[in-house]
Structure 1
Amino acid sequence: MASSLVDLLTTHALQQPDRTAYRYLVTGDCDGEIQDLSYGRLAGRSRAVAAWLQERGLAGSRAMLLYPPGLEFICGYLGCLSAGVVAVPGVPPQGRSQNHRAVTRMRRLIADADAKVILGGREVIAALGAMVEHLPELDGITCVATEDIPDDAAGSWREPDLTADSVAFLQYTSGSTSAPRGVMVTHGNLLDNQRVITERMGHTPDTIAEYDHELFVSWLPVYHDMGLIGPVLNTVHLGVTATLFSPLHFLQQPARWLTALDRYRPHTSGGPNFAYELCLKHATPDLLDGLDLSRWRVAFNGAEPVRAATLRRFTETFGAAGFRREALYPCYGLAEATLMVTGSSVTAPPALIEAAETGPHAGAADAAAVSSGRPGPGTTVVIADPERQEEVPEGEVGEIWVGGASVAKGYWRNALATRETFRATLKDRQGRFLRTGDLGFLRGGELFVTGRLKDLMVIDGRNHYPQDLELSAEMSHWALRPGCTAAFSVDGGVQGEQPVVVAETAPEAAGESEKITDLIRSSIGTAHGLSVHDIVLVRPGTIPKTSSGKIQRHASREAYLAGTLSVVGVPALS
């Protein structure tokens, strides 16, 4: 029995060395340049990288992975696993607009993970070489372009001594400027979650045979858990084929995703809710006429709130291209549980609860709450009252807690956060649970996610912490009072969650409101890549705070929605 993905890769390379593991659409187009990576070649390149790491005594240490979109990341990642080195996926600096944000995050991750080596593509490694003078974090760190490691290095590879409890990689979940948190995902966690994904998504031997091993198409970023644990690693787990292309190419032309689905006819493909909305915006009659989506069985939708209106419109629009309502597949997961926690049925459409039945559970823009399906085998989901440490009755909203072998080991070098998040207990149940910080309820064994207990905002599939946006806003103009800014998200309908900033300003700046608003918008756009939905400047001392002086973001959001904020230039309500 396989004890790690390394074992499974070895088996596939022996049994089907010539089968394509991954194909990469270099331009994002099916008729453009395509790169293929067979299982034999994948195993050889992974072992070459692993041997290079082993020869330098790096087993047990951390390796930062900084790759542009492409297949080389997969060789580097599996090379780390094959060497017993802890992989740390990161986002490489690229392009002017993303450079500052990516460099800031990269520096924090290198420092927090105490990385000893950086693996990357040639251009990334060359760029880092030019940054050494300005990045003290790179001092003493070996940087290597894994393309330059020779194939024959694989001959000296030694199988690592891995256990289920050995840490495979660190999945960082933090915002762009807040203290990073690296989730320690073990080899045992990876195998268990692959088992969950396989079962929940119906990736049976019969299905694999029916689809001639063509299981995935994915544009999702491979440094993110949804893109990595799902399409990339489930491919290795099962010995199937995945077609990949760059997230940027999808965002530039969303039709490329649909065209790839038509060409390769995979069983499974998906993304966050916003991806389906993008496809709807580009659904021209000519595009629909040329598509056949009838083979798409699992259209997974997760990582941000799943909207009933989006599901309905996608089915109505792409039904003309053969898309089946039963293929809609809302799911729920998080990095702290490796990835998947619950998933829908592969043979029936997702369950919806009409707003009239759910009352406060449903969003104002949707007619129904959407089920995220049932827990995977061996996974326990309970809805808890965290204050009382008790389960709440079925149908009642509480915090989602998760138990099972997919729950990660904890946060890297953060014992306090690990204890608070991964060691929750219930008075009437044995065992420890993961506190997700998400709110939801169970009905008929299915999970309905309704919101977040924590302040994390998920916008266009990316995580943002409100304190990051608040800091960027406060630093943009002298009149913005430190510690007196609230950032939160509101329901933007089909656009998904949208950020709003409410900030107190000094009275002396009463005539500069427009300038201040423009500066806040520009600062957040540059630092976080976000377009702010609304900026509201309010009078000093009016933002809701706790008795200890902490910003009450939920109360600020309620006041914003109710129109009761003390807006600068607007007469106060009597």
Structure 2
Amino acid sequence: MGRDPLADSAAHADVRVEDYVRADGTIAIPDGITLTSFLDRNRAIYGDQPSYRFLDYSSDADGRVVELSWNGLWSRVCAVGARLQQLTAPGDRVAILAPQGVDYVAAFFAAIHAGTVAVPLFAPSLAGQNERLSAVLADAKPTVVLTTSGAAESVRKVLKSIAAAERPRVIAVDALPDSVAEMFSTPTLGTDDVAYLQYTSGSTRTPAGVQITHRNVCTNVIQMILAGELDMSIRSVSWLPLYHDMGLIMIMFPALCGGHITLMDPMAFVRRPYRWIKQLGIEAAHGRTFAAAPNFAYELAAERGLPPQGETLNLTNVVTLLNGSEPVTLTSIEKFTTAFAPYGLPATAIKPSYGMAEATLSVASIAPSAAARARHFDREQLSAGRAVTVDAAAPGAVEHVSCGNAIPNQWVVITDGDGNEVPEGTVGEIWLHGNNVGHGYFGRTDETERVFGNKLQTRLETDSHATGVAENGYWLATGDLGTYVDGELYLTGRIKDLVILDGTNHYPTDIETTVSLASPAVRAGYVAAFSVPGERGEQLVIVAERAAGAGRVEPATVVDAVRAAVSRLHQVRIADFRFVAAGTIPRTTSGKLARSACRNEYLAGKFDRYATA
């Protein structure tokens, strides 16, 4: 094997983290820097070396390699950008409705480089999500939709619901000749201009477009590099959807820093998790490698992603695996770490993390040298808003995994309902401040003010987590509940998801875990707990999916086991339990449990045929 050019540090001499970090540690992105500032520089350095590489498993079990060189990417970006400039005005929205792949990457950066605002979405082939797609298109009102030749027909079908006068033009990016690039006119882009709209997953409400600026993204990438002690040219492998905040941030690293990333389709991973693991090993052979995935992926990989007998796998250089986007469990982390330790995976590789679209992505994570760990809190005290540490074997002990500390130049405080910072051990709403926090929701002035325009009323006199933020600084109210214990951040739930029964708060994730463990017939992680109005106030409803192979299990035995477990551990009665088929509970496009949507479907009677005694 020849020398790996991407491992040559000399090639990266002009891209240094130090250029964006002041002596006092403050991250400062110079004015004029944009998401596409370095694409031409990368082309000049790397030329015909690969930039973005996609493994297509749809027609080849081994993954057909489709890649763009840096020269090829630059030509695509300029060609698509030139066509966009003929059809749009600066600031117009341009939606990407394309399949996962290098064409998606080129379309996304072309929309930004042309001076428009990219709206990363998904091809209409994504099962069960056309209603959400239509809602987002109605909200963003794009002038142009970028897609591929293969997806163009399905895209046009979706767009037929839009009035002809407002219907966006459709461009198949793979059909444009590179010669069009000669007509591209470099626009003047500002670092604080909006680069793209990141639509929230919609797990608790209608999706909203977070306005992410060039400064937001550049700041968050530098924050992640500093927090994880990553190399600027670190390699990566990602199957995460490119319309999701976690998947999108992964393609920013090569664009801003050079380097290399291998992409694959989410379903390619779900069907054969070893595909992801194998590629991590291949990239790790060239140096330090990192990746990111939601919690379920690590459990799935541990169960179904081990290498075939006799196949070589070395994960020694897989130094960082971010775990976020959904509740993190120590059980999943331990399963994954144990499964791949024989192949050199460091015990500290998995990093439980906290992030959200409104903050571009990353907010907090554990230290590079730290291993994932959890604490157990008393359930009754937690319901009362206090995090009291107890032994794991104590009655009512609830496990919560530490998310570590805020990443550099990110401030995270816990507040009460009146905007006052609360001390350690107190559960409250998480508020954020930093240059990675987006500029509000597109077209939603009132909601932007309510969510992004908050000010702390009081700060703690000692050990305040707001130190360094101006007194009149604005804070993002996340809607998430959390607490600090021994200086580390723990997430406990979401305000809108709280189940309040007889005046007592219950965390749905806690109840859902109990249900999952109550019977092997319940599909773990596919349980929704929520409350609905009853004759005597709010009452608890559980919707749970059947586990594989549980089709012949008598529902009554499952119901009895679940009711008994919830009554014993939470001292509440289940008013209604629905034991549904796998795939019935609605989930967001990022795979999160959509409790709000599930509750709405329950109230609409969609689960009536699953009624149990």
TM over 0.5, shorter chain = yes
Structure 2 vs 1, CA of residues 377 and 30 (structure 1 numbering), >3 Å: closer, same or farther?
A: farther
Output the CA distance in 1 between the equivalents of 2:164 and 2:225: 40
Partner of 2:38, secondary structure, is helix
Cα 1:524–1:532 change in 2 (3 A) is: farther
Q: What is the distance in 2 between the residues matched to 1:122 and 1:186?
A: 30
Quote the Cα distance in structure 2 between the aligned partners of 1:373 and 1:339: 16
SS at match of 2:151: helix
Matched, 1:349 2:371: yes
Tell me how many residue pairs correspond in the alignment: 492
Query: Equivalent residues in 2 for 1:364-443 (5 A)?
Result: 368-385=399-416, 387-428=417-458, 430=471, 431-443=473-485
Give the counterpart of 1:313 among 329, 335, 351. Answer: 335
Q: Could you say which residue in structure 1 is the equivalent of 2:319?
A: 297
| Secondary structure in 1 matching 2:36 | helix
Match of 1:75 in 2: 106
| Aligned CA distance change for structure 1 residues 532 and 269 (closer, same or farther; 3 Å) | closer
Pick closer, same or farther for the CA change 1:447–1:152 going to 2, 3 Å: same
Q: CA deviation at 1:357?
A: 12
Given candidates 232, 237, 240, the residue that maps to 1:217 is: 237
Q: Choose which of 55, 64, 67 in structure 2 pairs with 1:25.
A: 55
Letter in 2 for 1:302: G
Structure 1 counterpart of 2:314, which letter? D
Letter in 2 for 1:66: L
CA distance in 2, matches of 1:128, 1:285: 38
Structure 2: which amino acid aligns with 1:232? I
SS at 2:318's partner residue?
Answer: coil
Give the whole-Å Cα distance in 1 for the aligned partners of 2:399 and 2:207.
35
CA distance in 2, matches of 1:525, 1:318: 32
Q: What's the counterpart of residue 54 of structure 1?
A: 85
Deviating 4+ runs (over 6 angstroms): 356-359, 362-367, 501-506, 517-520, 529-533
Alpha carbons 1:309, 1:367 under 8 Å: kept = no
CA drift at 1:526: 8.4
The letter for the 2-side match of 1:192 is T
Deviations 1:3-59 (A, max 9, x none): 112112122112222332111111187943111212222122111111111122332
Q: What letter is aligned with 2:52?
A: Y
Give the CA deviation at 1:139. 4.9
| Superposition map of 1:22-171 within 5 A | 22-27=52-57, 31-94=62-125, 98=127, 101-130=128-157, 133-136=160-163, 139-171=166-198
Q: Is the 8 A contact 1:308 1:366 kept in 2?
A: no
The equivalences for 1:458-469 within 5 A come to none
| Residue 248 (structure 1) aligned to one of 267, 272, 294 | 267
Q: 1:176 to 1:352 in 2, by over 3 A?
A: closer
CA distance in 1, matches of 2:380, 2:336: 23
- 1:321, 1:569 → 2: CA distance? 46
Distance in 2 between residues matched to 1:518 and 1:367, nearest whole Å: 23
Q: Secondary structure at the match of 1:432?
A: coil
Can you list the C-alpha shifts for 1:453-508, whole angstroms capped at 9, x where unaligned? 23399xxxxxxxxxxxxxxxxxxxxxxxxxxxxx96622369336224677899xx
Q: Tell me the distance in 2 between the aligned counterparts of 1:488 and 1:395.
A: 20
- Letter of the 2:44 partner, please give it: L
- C-alpha distance in 1, partners of 2:241/2:159? 26
2:256 aligned with 1:237, yes or no? Answer: yes
Give the Cα separation in 2 of the matches to 1:456 and 1:18: 53
Give the 3-state SS of the residue equivalent to 1:7 in structure 2. coil
Q: Against the structure 1 CA distance between its residues 263 and 151, is the aligned structure 2 distance closer, same or farther, given a 3 Å change threshold? A: same
TM-score, length-scaled by structure 1: 0.77
The code of the aligned residue for 1:155 comes to E
Confirm or deny: 8 A CA contact 2:372 2:401 kept in the other structure: yes
Deviates more, 1:156-165 or 1:447-456: 447-456
Deviations 1:135-164 (A, max 9, x none): 547853211101112211112222222112
Question: Equivalent residue of 2:251, what SS?
Answer: helix
**Cα 1:418–1:251, aligned 2, differ >3 Å: closer, same or farther?**
same
Q: Which amino acid aligns with 1:338?
A: T
**Where does structure 2 lack aligned partners over 5 or more consecutive residues?**
1-29, 460-470, 500-506, 518-522, 536-554, 557-575, 603-610
CA contact (8 A) 1:524 1:532 kept: no
Conserved 8 A contact 2:273-2:305:
no
Q: Which residue of 2 aligns with 1:561?
A: none
